[in-house]
Amino acid sequence: MNETDKEILEVLQNNGRMTMKELGEKVHLTGPAASARVAKMEDQGIIEGYTIKVNQEKMGMPMHVFIDIFTGSPNHEPYLAFIDEEKEYVANNYKVSGESCYLLECRFPSSGALDEFLTALSRHVSYKVSIVI
């Protein structure tokens, strides 16, 4: 992987929908040359896929919250089952090292919905909440 490949990745991360001709112009290659490099990086697993970015506020989920999860026992199944039931609010559930066991990233439509979620969550684990401002 050289500097041009890194530049291609940076450009695609900002706009994965551009044509190969547009990409080539941005990185000073022809469209077919840019396309060949992208295909090679896809084949190597460097590029795993293409995504979209959704405006969560416009989707009715303006509250962005991170929750440090502290389990009281080695049996995490009740917590994991709860998270699976509440997946409409859960963006990511990371198993982490450090003080907490998991880092939960969530979106909520209101503080009331957050409060209901936390009340139910407290039946399974202890937690610490950080709201993104």
The secondary structure of the chain in percent helix, strand, coil, rounded to multiples of 5, reads: 40, 20, 40
Q: Where are the domains of the chain?
A: 3-43, 63-131
- Highest CATH level, class, for 3-43: mainly alpha
What's the CA gap between 65 and 122, in Å, rounded?
16
- The mean pLDDT of 10-21, rounded to a whole number, is 95
Question: 90-105 pLDDT, tens per residue?
Answer: 999 999 999 999 999 9
Question: 50-81 pLDDT, tens per residue?
Answer: 998 899 999 999 999 999 999 988 999 999 99
Element (H, E) at 73: none
Element (H, E) at 55: none
Domain 63-131 in the same topology as domain 3-43: no
Q: Tell me: domain 63-131, CATH 3.30.420.10, correct?
A: no
